[in-house]
Structures are given as C-alpha cells and as structure tokens.
Amino acid sequence: MKLNYRFRDPALAQLALTHRSIGRPNNERLEFLGDALLGAIIAELLYEVHPRSNEGELSRLRAQLVNGQALAVIARELELGDELKLGPGELKTGGFRRDSILADAFEALVAAVYLDDGFDACRAVVRGLFGERIAALRRSSKDAKTRLQEHLQAGGWPLPIYELTASHGEDHAKTFDVSCTIGEPFPLTAECRGGSRRAAEQDAAEIVLNQLLEQQRKP
C-alpha cells in the first residue's frame, strides 16, 4: 500500500481493507464514516480554491472528485487491491479489481486514519491525495460535455448520446435523470440526476470521460 501515512494502530488499516464478504468485523462502518469525512474535507478544499463558485457549481465539482469511479482510481494508485481481504466468492470474481469495492475500501481507509490520529491527520492525507486533482479541475475551463466531445473527435470516434431517462417531482422542484453513452473506443454508460437536464448531462459526461481515460491508461 502506497498511502503516505504510518498507522499507530495497524489493525485499523487491516479492518479498512476487510470486505464484508469475509464476515464480521468488516469495513462497512468505517466506509460510512470515511464517506462523510471525505465529503467534508473535499468541500472545504473546493470552498478555498473556488471562492467565486456558487453552491451548485461546488456540488458538481465535488461530485467529479468523490464518486465511485474517481475513488477507485485513487485506490488503484495506492495499490489497495493487493491488500484487500475478500471472501472466496469475491476472490473468484475478481473483486479486488471492482470499482465499488476499491472505492469503499478507500473511504474506509480515510476513516481509519481519522480514528488513528484525529481530524488534522486525516485532512492532511486527503489534501495530499486530492490537491493536484483539484488544481487540474481549476485549470480546466471547459465543461465536461465539451471535453468528452473533443476527446472523442480527436480519436475519430462517434459523439456521445445523451438521453433523458426520467424526471421527478413538481414543476417548481423537478429533477432529471440523464444517461450519457458512448460506443467507441469502449462501450460506456453513466446515468446522473440533476436539478436541470444540463447539469445531469454534465455530471454523466464527466463520469464517462473519467472511465474512458482510465480504460485508455490500462496497458
């Protein structure tokens, strides 16, 4: 594991990497705590870095950074998959490669750092992992739909397809479910919900673009 932190209590790290398929104890409670800690620390960072952004813009930026796919990328960078404790069924089906399991383990590890040495230590670890990612978001002036379109065009691939799959609520407070799908160079789909169709499309495009870039980085 490549986490830049030394645990005082190594048992906390082991628990964070123990999937529920093992039985009890496992990392589910740590995952719950880590999710809340991560959301708060990333919100604090974005609040500092984007002083002119409104609540909706900050929420969209946080969603780009704190989602299953994005957290799984960090988990792979930390090589958490090699350290996971999985039950026989998950081992057979390659659970150590699954985004959801990796993301959950990363969240649990954030909570383990917090329990091991307090909030300041946890904040330092999270800031170290996300600082460059937030800086990259700040440097990017183009929205997710534009970046996805340009990336596909550069490769000579078809443009994404956006589809409104559902809408919910009264007219004054409606939310929209939108899917973004590409067929090449990899078949990928993401579905997001937003307070406007455009916002949902942007979030779905961001997830598809992140998935696509991750696939293209693989050997």
> Is 104 known to sit in a ligand binding site?
yes
How far apart are alpha carbons 144 and 126 in whole angstroms?
24
User: Angle at Cα 108 formed by Cα 105 and Cα 112, nearest 5°?
Assistant: 130
Give me the residue label for tokens 């307070």: 195
Bridge partners for 190 per DSSP: 180
> Is 191 known to sit in a ligand binding site?
no
Give me the residue label for tokens 């998935």: 211
Active site residues: 35, 107
How far apart are alpha carbons 107 and 51 in whole angstroms?
27
Instruction: Please provide residue 120's backbone torsions phi and psi, each rounded to the nearest 5 degrees.
Output: -60, -40
> Is 150 known to sit in a ligand binding site?
no
How far apart are alpha carbons 119 and 215 in whole angstroms?
34
Q: Which residues are annotated as a binding site for Mg(2+)?
A: 31, 104, 107
Q: Which residues are annotated as a binding site?
A: 31, 104, 107
